[in-house]
Amino acid sequence: MVTIIVLFFGPANAEMVKIPWHTSTQSSPWIPGNEYIDGWSKNFMNGTVEENGKVKVGGELQAEMIRPHGTKGPIPFVLMLHGCSGAREWNFASDYGEKLVRAGYGILVLDSFATRGLGPDGVCSDPSQLNWARRRADDAYAALDWLIDQKIADSKHVYVVGRSNGATTTLIIMNRVIGDLHEHMFAGGFAMQPSCYLMKNVEFYAPVHLFLAEKDEATSPALCGQMAESKRAIPVQVTLWKRAYHAFEDHYSVHIFHGYHIGHNAAAAQGTIKAIIADLNAARKATR
């Protein structure tokens, strides 16, 4: 059983919410010929090993929503996506979430795993992580629609911040091919140590900022750098943190996890959230 860690801090209103997940009815491919196309699923519980062979066309996702005290009406929001471990990573959401709320943004911390019966290791040992990232993109759009439909979020100012598998999900979310299938779109995406496999020629519909770790052994910073350098209508911004490993935002010492080094790097962790907030503030100022 996956446990949600409740995030609560001073100047904010926190509440647990349930988000109805979408069932995909579109049949357009993500990338023609992509061997991971089975990630484009007509439903989320379609008989994968992680779902214990279950098939379920609808359900709810758990999330924690936190808004600054005193806010009324739709406000700018940030959707936060965990990595392959799921709820084990909520310290990242607590740390970054607190800073985002104090900066005046609402946050929605979305759990893609708890209601789908995944164990404490999430999908970290699953070879089909790109499939999962594609499936989780639909989770993000379900959350976006819910925030807007409930008149909680400003439809023009909802952003997504993802780490690791959630960062790969972020790149898929921001893919114009995927975005064009949805009524609402995100204003921008921030991807912390994503996999950029098969992403080189993807066109994004809004700004994307990559935060990479020089010593990342789990996802290739070089591949992401090559992706960012390829010409596209909306350029990709890249920040590469020197001497940082995968999961640099987590507050534990560097150690081996599933065969690669992960662990904290203070400069990368603090610099990333400062850069995200700076980008968000600049976008808000530009639209006033």
Per-residue pLDDT of the chain (288 residues; tens, 9 = 90+): 333 444 545 556 789 999 987 655 444 444 434 444 444 444 455 555 556 666 665 678 999 999 998 888 899 999 999 999 987 777 888 899 999 999 999 999 999 988 887 777 788 887 777 778 888 888 899 999 999 999 999 999 999 999 999 999 999 999 998 888 889 999 999 999 999 988 888 999 999 999 999 999 999 999 999 999 999 999 999 999 999 999 999 998 999 998 999 999 999 999 999 999 999 999 999 887
- Of 9, 17, 76, 80, the residue nearest 249 (C-alpha): 80
Report the alpha-carbon distance of residue 161 to residue 237 in Å, rounded.
14
The DSSP annotation for 172-227 comes to HHTBHHHHTTSSS--SEEEEES---TT-TTPPBSS-EEEEEETT-SSS-HHHHHHH
pLDDT at position 56 is 64
Report the alpha-carbon distance of residue 157 to residue 79 in Å, rounded.
11
| Spatial contact of 194 and 117, defined as CB atoms under 8 Å apart | no
pLDDT at position 50 is 57
Report the alpha-carbon distance of residue 223 to residue 220 in Å, rounded.
5
pLDDT at position 51 is 60
**What is the four-CA torsion angle of 88, 96, 221, 122, rounded to 10 degrees?**
20
Q: Sign of torsion, CA 133 135 136 138?
A: positive
Query: What's the Cα-to-Cα distance from 269 to each of 71, 92, 124, 229, 256, rounded to whole Å?
Result: 28, 10, 22, 24, 19
pLDDT at position 26 is 46
pLDDT at position 180 is 86
pLDDT at position 280 is 98
